[in-house]
Amino acid sequence: MRYKHRAYYLQKIEGFINTNLIKVIVGQRRVGKSFMLWQLMDSIQERFSANIIYINKENYDFRSITNHDTLIAYVEEHRSKEDKNYLFIDEIQEIENFEIAIRHFALFDDFDIYCTGSNANLLSGELATLLSGRYVEINILPLTYCEFLDFNEVENTHESLKNYLLWGGLPFVKNLQKDDGFIEEYLRNIRSTILLKDIVQRNQIRNVNFLENLISFLAQHTDSLISAKKISDYLKSQRVEMSPQLVLNYIDFLCQAFLINRVKRIDLKGKRTFEISEKFYFEDWGLMNSVVGFNQFDISKVWKMWFTTI
């Protein structure tokens, strides 16, 4: 398979190959986690006598793997007794109680385990408890500007920089017609997938309308100081009852799905969480621009956000 290498992340992960640490690759949907697994598989097959076991939960072929029991059964069926087994599981959070199976295989020296997930809480529950520090987490981010130039095979020009700040750094954009309308539609669809699959379904959210309005509010106030109390007070002025705690919960859901990042104040304590303002940035400004609309693109705001976050 032909793909562009992301050398920084590949080098970072390769240092953990053949260690008894579970490699957990996390990041926003469509940021390139699957391609990172494929690069790792190619690297391992070139260097070692390896039995590769690959499971992609976004692929219909693996629909029968729904929980830890079916996961263990599948891996055992494809396990090698002669070669070392390299287990790769893409979007592992789609498998119920996956942490039980991961812990099981982590007990054997003939397994080297890699998995990806699109939720920041992947390691905050049972997995972190059961593995007791026997994992390493690698967060994959959208393309840097240098990577954007390389992926799209363009020169460093004012036009290229403008496109990067407008379209963002999701790798698949390189395959699209370089037209703002096509790219904006693609990014809207990605945002909808993140919203519905990684936030609404996972957290059983009923007030989807408020969640969409919150995303729009954060996109329009990027780089502004925002507090849950201010949002709650604003909603009350619009005759919408929403407590500061519930606002915070919804913001946490957005952060867990890697849609936005929170920049905390260092003096945050106790109940002041509701009162003291923080800043929120979209992890990919192409997705942010798709919320406010490409026709409302403000390069000065994105430029300021870029230099604040790098």
Could you report the per-residue pLDDT of 171-217, keeping only the tens digit for each?
Answer: 999 999 999 999 999 999 999 999 999 999 989 998 898 899 889 98
Q: Does 1 fall in a domain? A: no
**How do strand 111-117 and strand 279-282 relate by DSSP bridges?**
unpaired
Q: How confident is the model at residue 272 (pLDDT cuts 50, 70, 90)?
A: low
Could you report the per-residue pLDDT of 218-265, keeping only the tens digit for each?
998 887 888 888 788 877 776 777 888 888 899 999 999 999 998 876
Q: Does 98 fall in a domain? A: yes
Among 100, 28, 75, 91, smallest CA distance to 285 is for: 28
CATH number of the domain that residue 126 is part of: 3.40.50.300
pLDDT at 282: 92
Q: Which of 139, 157, 176 is the last residue of a domain?
A: 139
Say which residue the tokens 């926003």 belong to.
28
Structural domain boundaries, residue 39: 7-139
Torsion of CA 66, 71, 77, 83, to 10 degrees: 140
Element (H, E) at 51: strand 50-56
Tokens for 224?
């502004």
Contact present, 30 and 36 (Cβ < 8 Å): no
Element (H, E) at 186: helix 180-193
- In this structure, are 285 and 218 located in the same domain? yes
- In this structure, are 89 and 128 located in the same domain? yes
- In this structure, are 135 and 149 located in the same domain? no
Instruction: Report how far Cα 139 is from the mean position of its chain's Cα atoms.
Output: 8
Neighbour-count burial for 281-297, b at 16+ CB within 10 Å, e otherwise: bbbbbbbbbbbeebeeb
Say what percent of the chain tops pLDDT 70: 89
Among 101, 102, 140, smallest CA distance to 118 is for: 140
- In this structure, are 184 and 94 located in the same domain? no
User: What is the rounded average pLDDT for all residues in the chain?
Assistant: 88
What pTM did the predictor assign? 0.87
| SS3 (DSSP) at 66 | coil
Say which residue the tokens 């309005």 belong to.
213
Q: How confident is the model at residue 45 (pLDDT cuts 50, 70, 90)?
A: very high
